[in-house]
Amino acid sequence: MNDSATLEQRYRRLLRAYPRTYREQHGEELLSTLMEAADPETRRPAIREALPLLAGGFAAHARDARSRAPWWVDGLHLGVLAVATTTYAMKVDVLPHLIRPIWIALAILLLVALTRGWLRLALPLAIVAVVQASGLAARMGVPRFGPAYVETSNVVPHVVIVAGLAILAIGRRGKALPARSWLWLLIPVSCWMLQFVDFSFEEELPWLLFRSGVEVLALSAVLWATVAAKDARWSLAAAIYMIPGLAYLAENLPAHGRKGFAYWGLLTLLVVASAVAARRTRRRI
Amino acid sequence: MTEATYFILAALLEKPLHGYGIIKRAGEQSSGRMKLAVGTLYGALDRLAEAGLVVIDREEIVDGRARRYYRITEEGTAAVRAEAVRLQSAAAVVTSQIMVMGT
């Protein structure tokens, strides 16, 4: 194989960083430009070309992940979906016994409605959930089927979901939201499956480490996507996702050690950095 | 506007160019300072096309590969002119003082 063919093959491999649809539309054009710009003697892609290609591929993925909705609608929807998914994934006892069948049915229906963007169904379900989770049901004389009220921070995620959906309902005038991938539902399903092996989300150290790793990676990806696609939607979603966690931290301050503060500080820093990046880059071409 | 975007738009002011043509022209216009990487160029072109500042002018097949020529729009011309004026007035803040000081 001659130098040029080897180089072309290596560039083709690097171009896999881009989404398939992007490659189909622009792949040959990019390759042609890369080959024109390359030193004819070289067999390896230059670092100054390879790194921007990887970054460009990530930015193209980020741009592909956007819906056609305005950035704030997309961000709010994603944030509410992230809060609902993580809350119901870890706070609902599904297996091995159905302790609260109506509550579980409501959770599943709400998660499906949120994922598919059915705003008119999701908002009333979320209001029922907040009434049940806050202990208001007992005071209102409504039959109770939700979890027992423990502390304010347990109710915060449900309030965030209702508030987010209410803003979306007003802003969209009841119009449905763009549907999200069914993969979102894999998160609660996987967590509920773990309950089969009597797994406690509160105590298991490997779980805490796994969750921390996922959160740091996800929020770092949010920061990168915000900068790469010059778009604020993920930054808004991340800020909404942080509200329940920070409420929990505030309510249980004495129970958190130095590591806990450092961890929440890091997450907050990533979200603040994303917000600053979003503000600086949103109007910059 | 980033420096890369500025030089991409400036390169297209004279006539539509394809990817490598833009890289060469931007290099010439910046006296070799602006060395656009291909990934950076196409990322910027995507954003510029999304903002309506450039459009695809035509497509040719060269050696079996698509070669797209990009053309600057009226909005693109206005944006790069406005940026040039901004840079000129920013530069004038320093150059006028240097002239007064005689250094």
Last residue of one domain, picked from the residues A45, A64, A83: A64
Residues 6+ apart with CB under 8 A from A273: A223
Residues A111 and A171 in one domain: yes
* CB contacts < 8 A (A, B): 72
Alpha-carbon span A195 to A193, nearest angstrom = 5
Residue B53: predicted pLDDT: 96
Please state, in angstroms and as integers, the Cα–Cα distance from residue B11 to each residue in A1, A29, A253, following that order: 36, 19, 57
Whether chain A has a CB inside 8 Å of the CB on B5: the answer is yes
* Inter-chain residue contact B47 with A54, CB threshold 8 Å: no
For chain B, the straight-line distance linking the first and the last C-alpha, in angstroms and rounded, comes to 31
Chain B contacts of A57, Cβ < 8 Å?
39
Which structure tokens are listed for A124? 């009333």
Which range has the worst mean pLDDT, A181-185, B25-29, B65-69, B76-80?
B65-69
Q: Are residues A55 and A116 in the same domain?
A: no
Count CB neighbours of A278 within 10 A. Answer: 24
Query: Which amino acid, A219?
Result: L
Distance of CA B42 to the CA centre of its chain: 12
> Looking at residue A19, what is its pLDDT?
94
Same domain, A60 and A75: no
Tell me how many domains chain A contains. 2
- pLDDT reported for residue B82: 94
pLDDT value at A112 more than 70: yes
pLDDT of residue A200: 66
Domain boundary among A43, A64, A85: A64
Does A84 lie in the same domain as A198? yes
CATH number of the domain to which B37 belongs: 1.10.10.10
What domain count does chain B have?
Answer: 1
A257 pLDDT band (50/70/90 cuts)? confident
Q: Are residues A129 and A150 in the same domain?
A: yes
Which range marks the domain in which residue A262 is found? 71-281
Q: What residues contact B6, with CB distance under 8 A and at least 6 apart? A: B80, B83, B87
pLDDT band at residue B95 using 50, 70 and 90 as cut-offs: confident
Residue A153 has pLDDT above 90, yes or no: no
Is the peptide bond between A96 and the residue preceding it cis, with omega within 30 degrees of 0? yes
Range of the domain at B45: 3-101
Q: In terms of domains, do A217 and A86 share one?
A: yes
Q: Is there a single domain that holds both residue A98 and residue A214?
A: yes
Do A54 and A96 belong to one domain?
A: no
Q: Which of A64, A86, A106 is the last residue of a domain?
A: A64
In this structure, the dihedral spanned by the alpha carbons of residues A95, A97, A103 and A106, taken in order and rounded to 10 degrees, is 50
Burial degree of B6 (CB within 10 A; 0-12, 13-18, 19+): buried
pLDDT at residue A164 tops 90 = yes
Whether residues A249 and A158 fall in one domain: yes
B41 and chain A: CB distance < 8 Å anywhere?
Answer: yes
> A257 with A120, same domain?
yes
pLDDT (average), residues B54-72 = 89
Instruction: State which of A41-50, A186-195, A256-265 shows the largest mean pLDDT.
Output: A41-50
Around A282, how many Cα atoms within 13 Å sit in the side-chain half-sphere? Answer: 15
Among A12, A25, A26, A33, the strongest candidate for a mutation testing the B interface, having the largest count of B CBs within 10 A, is A33
Mean pLDDT within A208-223? 89
